[in-house]
Amino acid sequence: MSRNLSVAVIGAGRMGVDHIQRLARRTHGAEVSAVVDIDPARAAAAAAGVPGAAALTDIRAALEDPRTDAVLIATPGFLHEDALHAALARDIPILCEKPLTPDSVSAWRVLQAEEKLGRKRIQVGFMRRYDAEYAHLAELIRSGELGELLMLHHQHRNPATPPGFSNEMLINDSVVHEFDAVRFFSAEEITSVRVRTGKTTRNAPAGMNDPQQVLMETTSGVLADVEIYVNAQYGYEVGTQAVFEQGVVRIGNHAGPYLSARGRWGGTVLPGFAERFSAAYDREIQSWVDAALQGDIGGPSAWDGYAAAACCEAGVEAQKTGRTVAVELHEKPLLYQS
């Protein structure tokens, strides 16, 4: 395809608007042909100033338009399955924000629909894989330079939760990123999950435990832990310490620049994920567009979305029961083995 990839963006909320700007202004080889939101005012506002972008309220209208080459789904997770099936029926490239779907049964249905097409069409929005430090750590792990990877310690801190945030969302919305990160770094599946709750901050909404500790193990026995703290107040921080046979690698948390001035030294804590991962989102979308133009996908697949959904399910059960819960996965179809 020598012309630009015409993308219909479904959902013009926080992420959708961000991706529309990215596609329209910072991505090579792409243009936004439609913005779909159930709220017509949101669709119109997001399409305004984007040349050629139609404002629509129904995904079907975007999919019926022959100009639509690809779809970016940024509606809430519980709506992803319907949009995914509709876009798969058109057999076009899809970037689906995380989560693929909210549970492993619906994720498996999506994966089977894709398998019938005989090629990967869905990329899942696990953008951390595109963060420069994440990519560097993954390279170090693959090179074997520091020996075998033994442990991963993660911190994931958000300043505050939006209204209605729950213990379950802490796993499904937030720790889903670490489930993907552990699978990405170890290149293995997660076999079990355990969740510990302890003393809770007075800043958490009533009924919520915050922070929590999520413990997991991979096929070869790599142990990983996450401190997930979603009402940390002071800012947004995501970091990992990877422990190897011959060294330790730290990424995230305290990226520079460090300033020495007015009798103090130090850096800045970023306010949120949009700032922390802005370059990663740019790379993620560019990689998806580049691959889509070649009829491929450029990153985490529907299998990665399905496996993360299964980990989340185990995580929520572990959170409720206090037990170590096994992650159950179907056999990996051939399509996803390379």
Ligand X SMILES: O[C@H]1[C@H](O)[C@@H](O)[C@H](O)[C@@H](O)[C@H]1O
Ligand Y SMILES: NC(=O)c1ccc[n+]([C@@H]2O[C@H](COP(=O)([O-])OP(=O)(O)OC[C@H]3O[C@@H](n4cnc5c(N)ncnc54)[C@H](O)[C@@H]3O)[C@@H](O)[C@H]2O)c1
Residues that bind ligand X (CB under 6 A): 158, 173-174, 177, 273
The nearest distance, CB 171 to ligand X, in angstroms, is 10
Site string for ligand Y, 263-292 (x = CB under 6 A): ----------x-------------------
The answer to the question of residue 299 lying near ligand Y (CB under 6 A) is no
How many residues in the chain?
338
Please give the residue whose beta carbon sits closest to ligand X in the complex. 174
What is the strand order of the sheet 5-10 is part of?
54-56, 30-36, 5-10, 70-73, 94-97, 122-125
Strand order in the sheet with 223-229: 247-252, 237-244, 149-157, 223-229, 212-218, 190-197, 325-326
C-beta separation of 236 from 269 below 8 A:
yes
177 or 194, CB closer to ligand X?
A: 177
12 binds, options ligand Y, ligand X, none, Cβ within 5 to 8 A by partner type: ligand Y
Cis peptide bond N-terminal to 163, omega within 30 = no
Judged by DSSP in three states, 118 sits in: coil
**Residue 158 interacts with, from ligand X, ligand Y, none (CB under 5-8 Å by kind):** ligand X
Per CB under 6 A, which region of 70-78, 208-216, 239-247, 288-296 contacts ligand Y?
Answer: 70-78
Distances (CA, A) of 125 to 42, 77, 300, 338: 22, 12, 7, 19
Instruction: Provide the minimum distance between the beta carbon of 274 and ligand Y in the complex, in angstroms, as a whole number.
Output: 8
Shortest Å distance, C-beta 281 to ligand Y:
7
Binding to ligand Y by residue 75, rule CB under 6 A?
A: yes
Interacting residues with ligand Y (CB under 6 A): 10-16, 36-39, 42, 74-77, 79, 97-98, 125, 127, 173, 273
